[in-house]
Structure formats: C-alpha cells, structure tokens
Structure 1
Amino acid sequence: MKFISLGEIMGRLSTIDYEKILHSKRFDMNFGGAEANVSVTMANLGVEKSAFISALPDNDLGNSVIRYLKCNNVVTDHIVKTEGRLGLYFVETGFSQRNSTVIYDRKDSAIAKADPEIFNFEEIFKDYTWFHISGITPAVSDNALRLTKKAMEAAKKSGLKISLDLNYREKLWDFQKARDILSELAEYADMCIGIEPLNLPGADGTDIKNGLSRNNPSLEEMDRVFHEMEKKFGIKIIARTARKSISSNRNALKGFLYINGKTIETDWEEFDILDRVGGGDSFAAGLIYAVNHFEDPEQIIEFALSCSILKHTIRGDAGTFTHNEVEKYLKEGMDIKR
C-alpha cells in the first residue's frame, strides 16, 4: 500500500524523570502529531510508501522536523514552508496515582495559517492508495478545517480509501461544533476509529451512545453503535479501544472491530507504561496496516491492539517497531470474543 496523511506536527517538550512542569528546568525535545505519528508508524511497519502532508516554518525548527521524518523513511515531498511558527506542546508524565498533563502552545502555527490553495491534492494523491486524517486537524483553525475538507473531497474523487480517527480533543473545540463538523466529514470515510463525537440520534432523538460505558462497554452495546454508524454514514470498518487505568504506569486495553457487518472484541491486555502519548495513533496505524495485509478479522484487531500496547513501551509519539516485532509479541496470544 501507499499511505499518506495530513495534519500538524509539533515540537514536544517533555519533563524528565516524572518531574512536574512547574518545577522542571530541563525538557526533552521530540516531535509529534496525530497524523504524523501514524505515517511514522506505517513507515516502520514496512509499507511500500508512507508520506505526510503539512506546513512548517521556514527555519531550522522546520528543517529539524523534516529530518526527523526522513530518518523514519517518511516521504516529505508534500510539506510546504510557510509563514507561522512550529506549534509546541508540553508533556508532564504522570506517576503512580498522579495523572499525566499536556499543555498546548500551537496558536498561529504554520498549518493553522496555511492557505489550502497551496496544496494540489489531485496531483499529490496520484501516487497513493490510502489517505488518513484525524479530528484534531479541523479543530486547529478555520483554515485547517477548509484544508481538511478539500483534502477529503480530493481523496474521495481520486479513489483513495479514507480513514478518519475522530480523536476528539475538548481543549481544542466545543463538543457540539466538533459533533457537527466530524459528522459531516464522516460521510467521506471508509474506516473510522472511535465513536465520539459523532451524532447518532435514536428514535426518541437522544444519542444512542448516551449511557454507554466509556471504559468497559459490552460487545452488544458496541455492535449496536457500530451498526448505526454504518447505517448513517456508510462506514464499513470501525474500531475503537477501551482502557482501564490501574495507575499512571499500568493500564489495560481491549479492542473492538466492526467489519463485514460483524463486531468482535479482544480480551483485556494489561501492560506497563513508559510513554502513553501516541498509543491511539499506533492503534490506528496498526488497524490500517492490518486491513491492507490480512483478511481474518481476529488477526486485524489483534495486530492493531498489539501496535498500541507496544507504543506504550517506547519514548516519543510514534511507534518505531517493525512488523516482525509485532508478530513476535502476538505469539503470546490474545483471546478473541465473538
């Protein structure tokens, strides 16, 4: 497959040795952003081609981002240099019962200010088969929203498969605005990761997701929601994870997958955490990769969940494991419930 994504990549400044941001005098520098993380993970898994579309400032920070992407075999030909700055975010890693904290500093970033007309998506998409975007990008700015719509329309017209990771972030936009916009964008998607904040009204007008357990939904509940999502938006492949938090350093995950009109789930997998950031992006990458390489639904969801779990053991935003490393982990086995 030939994969490409669109989004913002930021500088990540992380405290060292679990220090609080308030007390820290040193930060570890890295780069990350939802779609960029997926492109990096896809490249490391070994797809034929993995690329990233974005806008960066024309300075050494922008050059450093491109160098990072190239070091991970991500094609950067479709990144443009524009006015604006490199967005930043600060990570305070939690420990034991203290949760992690993230502070964003991304106003007026290059991608937020970029004119959508500088991207010729019809030309770009000629070389690719799969396009990925998240619900974060349209939340960044009005320009980024127009850019998202233009890209999804062009990808659909060019015959690419489209995956949408809903990835709602309450720090970026209002829930109702996110619901309206992402429900519109979902019409373009062939695959969807997550279920919120899509609008799924039942017969009485209330959302059918109301009352759904966030951390431990049943297979029957998820099957009902997934069927409704396919009925309303035409999405054929839907997946999500559920998470149990034992502490900031130890969690458990399970995965749900809807494909071919049926829903399956994995058993819970418990693991220790080195770095939680990007776990959902590695799940998305693993899902896209597996759908394009395997036919067995059980193998698909097991592979995707394994990618997410392995990412939690790696510092930084992206999953830098290989296909063989995921397969090695999978030999330990996961139980699938139908």
Structure 2
Amino acid sequence: MKKPQNVVVFGELLMRLDASHSNRFVQAENYQASFTGGEANVAVALAQWGIVSSIVSRVPSHSIGQACVNHFRRYGVRTESVLRGGDRLGLFFVESPVPPRSGQVIYDRDATAFRTLQPGDIDWDLTLADADWFHFTGTAPANGENVREVLAEGIQTARKRGVTISFDCGYRSQLWTIEEAAKVLPRFMEMSDVFIGSEHDARTFFDVHSQGTESLRDLSEKYTLKTVAYTDRNISSLGMHRYQATIHENGKTATSRIHEVTPLDRIGTGDAFTAGLVLGQLQERSLQSTVEFATAAAALTHSIHGDFALLSIDEIEGLANGDSIGRIRR
C-alpha cells in the first residue's frame, strides 16, 4: 500500500476577531472570534483534500489555547506537534472592506506563546519522520531571532531527510520593517525549494529587478529553486478583483486564466493558492494543471467567510476547467 503523503507546517496560531456587520473599529460593539494562521490555513485545505497535514506551533496551556487546537482538529489537521506553554495567544482584529472603503487589520502579537519558542524545544527528527513536504511563511521569522533559529533547525532537518521545503514570502509590515525582512529572508530562501510570492517581493527582498517571466527565472536561478510562483491581483474602484498566477519550473512557465471575483473575505486566499500548488506538486500534475487548480482554489476562497479553503477538489477543478458558476446544485 502506498504511504499517505504528509505535509508539515510551522507557524503561529492566532485568534481572529472580526468587527460585526462590517462596522468600523470605532463603532464595533461585538466581534466574531475564530482561529487561524497562515501556515495552518494551508494545512486545513490540504486535509480537506486527503493529505495528512500537521501543525508545528506553540499555544498557551489554558482553555483558549486548547480551543484553538480543537478548532484545527475539527478540520482533520494533526496537532500532536503543537507545544503548550507561554501566556498569550496572538490576536488580530479585522475590519471588513466595503467598496470603495478598504478594510484593515490590526495585530496584537507581542509576547505570545509562539514568540517564546527556543532552539531545541521541538524534536524535529520526530516531527518530520514521515514528512514529504515542509511549509512556512515569512511571518514566522518575523517573530524574532529565537523563532528564526527554531525554524532553521526544522529546515535543516527537512533538507537532511530530502523533504521538499516551500516558503511563502507573506511580508507583514506590522510585524517588521522592509529593511529587517530584506536582511533575514534571503537566508531562508537559500534553504528552500519552492517560493510563493510576487514580482514586488522579488525586487524588495531578494534584489531581483527583472520583470515578468524573467523575474521568475532570475529568482529561480539566483537561489537554485525548483519552483517559483507569483500571484497577481488588480482591484477596481468598485471592488472587483482580477486574480491570476504564474508558475516557473525547470525552465518552463505556465500562467493561469484570470478570475474576476467580488470578495466576501480575501484573508486566507493566498494560503489556498499555496495549498493548491502543494497538492499539484505532490500529485505530479502538469504545470498548467497545477497553476489553474491553485488559482481556482484561491478564487473560490474569496467566497467563504474566514480563512479556510473549505472546498472540495471537484468544486475547484470545475472552476479551473471553466465550468459554469453561480448555479445552485440540486
């Protein structure tokens, strides 16, 4: 019997608090609570699609930390490698956009349980014993030098075991400056196999100033990457999003069709794209099939409130193949 494919993600778990009824923060009296995390969102999507997915993180040992862990278990994600300790679970507050008004996010992520992780806390040999893929985002190293060293331990173990390593740039200006990120992120790019970001990320953090297909190729060659994926989003004044992606691998490039969406919620859509890319690679799909699937997963996630891509493979493939949308299935 073929061994199940196993993806391990490393990152902070958070509580998300949404101002009710699309209110501004200054007028909100109620907030809807849920749990999330950029890397964990990838694990949730993959678990829905039949991939064994595990989270490596740290949450407080109190009831809120347990509620967070329970939330991910509900969606089939393995949480045995979520450590307990520290005092706080990170928070972020969301004010939903209502065109032409933009939304906004405010983080409260200082002194969290995840930020207290220290080198040696995680048994990476045990954690990655059955792993085929290891994923992280740029928000993990933004949490301090100690977390960077923990992540580096995990990546080094993954490399020794021949595990594919993916890195989603995921820069967040509220966590650190561009200058700080540009000093730190290249170190982790050098240890990665797959990169997900944008042409802007390549220019800002990795000193690659070419454009279009050349940017993907140059970034791939500079860091000896197996795969580079860029997503691109254009937003009209009325709030219509045009979403597209391009993947470069082994000298070949594939670009998806453009998806026009009016988002119910755009948080987590990039994680849905990453999950789609990971699935495509694990299933050894063609480059064109992978980029169409990943982009369709992201497009559909715009229609779901919250951070999770709660979608079936059939739903995603239907959109990826250009099937009609908007009809009620009876």
User: TM tier, shorter chain?
Assistant: over 0.9
**Equivalent-residue separation in structure 2 for 1:91 and 1:139 (angstroms):** 20
- SS state at 2:56 partner: strand
**Equivalent-residue separation in structure 1 for 2:248 and 2:300 (angstroms):** 23
Residue 157 of structure 1 deviates from its aligned partner by: 1.3
**Equivalent-residue separation in structure 2 for 1:302 and 1:79 (angstroms):** 33
Partner of 2:49: 45
Aligned residue runs from structure 1 range 1-338, under 5 A: 1-47=5-51, 49-195=52-198, 197-198=201-202, 207-209=207-209, 221-247=211-237, 249-332=239-322
In the alignment, residue 259 of structure 2 is paired with which amino acid? E
In the alignment, residue 33 of structure 1 is paired with which amino acid? G
- SS state at 1:127 partner: coil
* Contact 2:259/2:296, CA 8 A, preserved across alignment: no
Q: TM-score, normalised by structure 1?
A: 0.90
| Structure 1 gap segments, 5+ residues each | 213-220
* Contact 1:91/1:100, CA 8 A, preserved across alignment: yes
Identity value in percent: 28
Residue 129 of structure 1 deviates from its aligned partner by: 0.8
**Equivalent-residue separation in structure 2 for 1:46 and 1:273 (angstroms):** 27
- SS state at 2:34 partner: strand
For residues 248-303 of structure 1, give each alpha carbon's deviation from its aligned partner in whole angstroms, at most 9, with x where no partner exists: 74311011110121222223210121111011111111111111114311111000
Q: Which of 1 and 2 has higher RCO (CA within 8 Å, sep 6+)?
A: 1
Q: TM-score, normalised by structure 2?
A: 0.92
Residue 12 of structure 1 deviates from its aligned partner by: 0.2
Count residues in correspondence.
319
Residue 65 of structure 1 deviates from its aligned partner by: 0.8
| Structure 2 gap segments, 5+ residues each | 325-330
* Contact 1:35/1:281, CA 8 A, preserved across alignment: yes
In the alignment, residue 258 of structure 1 is paired with which amino acid? H
For residues 54-112 of structure 1, give each alpha carbon's deviation from its aligned partner in whole angstroms, at most 9, with x where no partner exists: 00000111110111111000000001101130000000001011001000001011000
* Contact 1:175/1:197, CA 8 A, preserved across alignment: no
**Equivalent-residue separation in structure 1 for 2:274 and 2:259 (angstroms):** 17
* Contact 1:179/1:198, CA 8 A, preserved across alignment: no
> Structure 1 residues 303 and 102, CA, compared in 2 at 3 Å: closer, same or farther?
same
* Contact 2:208/2:219, CA 8 A, preserved across alignment: no
* Contact 2:273/2:295, CA 8 A, preserved across alignment: yes
Q: Please, what is the CA RMSD of the aligned residues? A: 1.9
More divergent stretch after superposition (292-301 vs 15-24): 292-301
**Equivalent-residue separation in structure 2 for 1:224 and 1:64 (angstroms):** 46
- SS state at 1:300 partner: helix
Residue 40 of structure 1 deviates from its aligned partner by: 0.7
